[in-house]
A and B are shown apart, each in its own frame.
Chain A
Amino acid sequence: MSSIDTSGNVKTVTGVSTSRTSALLLLLHMRTFVALILVFTFFAIAAPNFLSMGNMVIISKHVALNALLAIGMTFVIIAGGIDLSVGSIVGLCAMVAGYLVLYGIDLGFLGIGYSLQFNTIEICLIVLVVGVFIGSINGFLITKLNVAPFIATLGTLYVARGAALLFSEGRTFPNLSGNPEYGSDTFRIIGSGTFLSFPVSVWIMVVVALGAAYLASRTPLGRHIYAVGGNERGAALSGVNVDRIKLFVYMFSGLCAAFVGLIISSQLQASHPATGETFELNAIAAAVLGGTSMSGGRGRIAGTIVGAFVIGILADGLIMMGVSSFWQTVIKGLVIIAAVVVDQVQQKLQARVVLQQNAN
């Protein structure tokens, strides 16, 4: 929003071109939002039934999954990293959830012929801990062993996916309806329940998004994430514990992925080990579309959410219009490239306006 104040104060000889510049700058600043409105309006006109309540719910359910991953990804990218493992963490967490619902933890190896069963809340907590733990492995590799984030998370991508397949020997865990005896029959609510006529999964996304936005803008931790991504050495010399910040963002990203794993296994009432494949790419796309800079230091949670909605609405709208899925893929790619090009233009323009203002 700072561009609004900026434009208000600019005073130059060529008043007309300046006000045009600042109007353009404002438009560019809000570009993701503008894109969202454009996409929404287009499909509202072009696709029948697009505006129906049922369709809105479906879209928001789809978007919630990608948005959750993208929130975690945004922090990682702002801190100057990348997390390729989120899709696999989704898969592994889904399998862990499925296993716990179906079998609990078999204590047979203790020779007492007894197995531990969990209720829904306990299952959720365990799955979330698993997600955070895998994130912490990423963080450990990157901070303590100095592995490049791309490589470290590429490694966990394979390891976590392999672990998910090993869990069931590649099979699906079916019929995750739970058992009322153990209090796990409520497991289905996470994915299929509604609250105030919106799916629970959407509410989870909203709560996580609000928490993340607060963290980013109103806590020292959030500020330090931006600082580490903007200039790691500078941040370290200012007393920021760079390793701790990096560890946090990967753990948070793992947490977000664990939520998605829970939601999907509950929604489908089944866990498949291939769950979440290529999800990481959609998450990166949403973050970038929302104005997160891949070189670190720049990005906002609100932008990422809007970015996720643009991608989600585009996908659903094109399906409703009967556009082939091959074309959908092409269009998604073009939109992402366009977003980054516009971002570059905005950066240049903004720098020029600030310079001009300092000269006066």
Chain B
Amino acid sequence: MSAVATVEPHPIGLSIRNGSKIYPGTQALKNVDFDLRMGAVNVLVGENGAGKSTLMKIIAGVEQLNGGSIELDGKSVVFTDKTDAAKHGVGIVFQELNLFPNLTVAENIFVGHEKTRAGIHIDRAAQTSAARALMKRLEQNIDPDTPLGNLRIGQQQIVEIAKALAENARILILDEPTSALSAAEVEVLFRVINDLKKQGVGIVYISHRLEELIRIGDYITVLRDGVITGSRSMKGVDIPWIVANMIGSASKEFPKTVEHELGDEVFRVENICLPSPAGGYAVDHMSLTVREGEIVGLYGLMGAGRSELLECIMAQHPNSSGQMFISGKPLKEQSVSGRIRRGLALIPEDRKRDGLVQIMTIRENLTMSSLYDFTRGFHLSLKAEAAKAAEFVKRMAIKIASMEHPVSSLSGGNQQKVVIGKALMTKPKILLMDEPSRGIDIGAKAEIFRTMRRLAGDGLGILFVTSDLEEVLALSDRILVMANGRLTGQFPAGANAADVVSAATPNLKKVETL
């Protein structure tokens, strides 16, 4: 591909000049210049919250710039919404597939812009033949009349791409397209991408899997905190270069490790296994230990089995097997409340879905796991409860107008503090945190991290899961890396970032040889 690039440079299809995007409270993009080249794969990379998604949404018309301009084929354009961008030939495949499993492949491809006669009657035959033509173009052997739910995830992804192409997309944005795919499916996708390139389609490709980017990309753009820190042809780019640009020399204001002695082993899991519905294991013979006062960072990409491991520990998967020990004593309790009583506490990844009861008050959420501490016989002492809740609001520095407001009225960072407060109120020995900084702003993030440090200093063992490289490097006393359900690496604090990334993508070699 690079040989072609030198002979005939890819024309610029879309460019953004001086683009800025401001959300309430944060600036997601700062004076960004971005060129999208046609007939090539334009790779976009950066940490969570670096501004990749925002840039992508602006190109797809989902969001609009606050400052700067977009040019399409040399003419200045403004996309008012996604439909408008689609009319201009921009298609997007989101990370979470927006498909209907109960409809057929053809129906999915044409949903929202059905081929009709007289605007009422759906022309099924025309849709089916058009869908068949698209599948042929993508070299896929998928029958347009099969229900989408019968397809594998990889095939569904292809249908999403076909959906974008059906609207004559000349620019195609793929957001983490491989995160849910098997190695073989990735190969199919890459072949499709190469074909599309030859047809002159300009592709924007977003992924956390760096080795994949190097393989498929022609141009690379690295974002950090809304600023482009590197932009060049892919020739000569290697993982250390990408990581250096992603993280930068000056690390963010993370609390530095305050030296304190680590205590004895407080938590040990041995051979945790969880069969996966797709076959094989979602968690594959995982063993690890946590010491008192130690922060263990568990790094891995999406789908590596990290969250599943924490769920196994928290008794969410009856099919899981393996042993667990708290301070050397076996953990036999099968219920969540039993495990909480033994000193485990979980901060779930999805605050809205798992962490809080949104319609209940801040007080009621804080004390949810500890109600029996305020109960004598049947009687729940509201006074003791309110006092304890107030104590934790103060301790966690939760900004609230009143404890009696619904917890849904708080900002993401403050909601997270409520979840942590609820966990701490049960006086845990081990705190399991799943993506503790997800969806909260940078200030609240730093505060959460300081809290974690302080808790570790008080002797709590913390096992936290993250897909943020910078976070795991800055915060952990020890780094564990997971991939495909297995432990693939173990590093001390201050490990080399590139090593950690390599351990998280163990199929690196396999891909390179292909």
Contacts and interface: CB of A to CB of B under 8 A. Distances in A.
Interface of A: 2, 5-6, 9, 217-224, 226-227, 230-231, 233-241, 297-298, 351, 354-355, 357-358, 360
B360 A230 contact: yes
**A-B pairs with lowest CB-CB distance, top 6:** A239-B337, A230-B357, A220-B371, A231-B357, A238-B368, A239-B340
B256 interface: no
B218 interface: no
B359 A237 contact: no
A234 B402 contact: no
A240 B337 contact: yes
A224 B370 CA distance: 11
Interface in B389-424: 400-402, 404-406, 409-410, 422
Contact of B360 (A217, A226, A354): A226
B23 interface: no
A236 B315 CA distance: 10
A227 B355 CA distance: 12
Interface in B330-379: 335-337, 340, 346, 348, 353-361, 364, 368-369, 371-372, 375, 378-379
Given A5-B404, A237-B348, A218 B382 contact: yes
Given A2-B404, A5-B402, A223-B371, A235 B314 contact: no
Nearest to B341: A239
Contacts of A240: 336-337, 368
5 contacts: A2-B404, A234-B357, A238-B368, A241-B335, A297-B359
Nearest to B368: A238
Given A218-B378, A240-B368, 15 more contacts: A2-B404, A219-B380, A220-B371, A220-B372, A222-B380, A227-B357, A233-B353, A235-B357, A237-B354, A237-B355, A239-B335, A239-B426, A297-B357, A355-B409, A357-B401
Contacts of B361: 2
Contact of B358 (A217, A222, A230, A358): A230
Interface string B303-318: 0000000000010100
A219 B375 contact: yes
Nearest to B379: A218
Contacts of A220: 371-372, 375, 380
Contact of A237 (B336, B364, B371, B410): B336
Contact of A227 (B314, B335, B368, B402): B368
B336 A239 contact: yes
A9 B353 contact: no
A223 B405 contact: no
Contacts of B337: 239-241
Contacts of A227: 357, 360, 364, 368
Contacts of B405: 6, 354, 357-358
Given A9-B402, A220-B371, A230-B358, A238 B379 contact: no
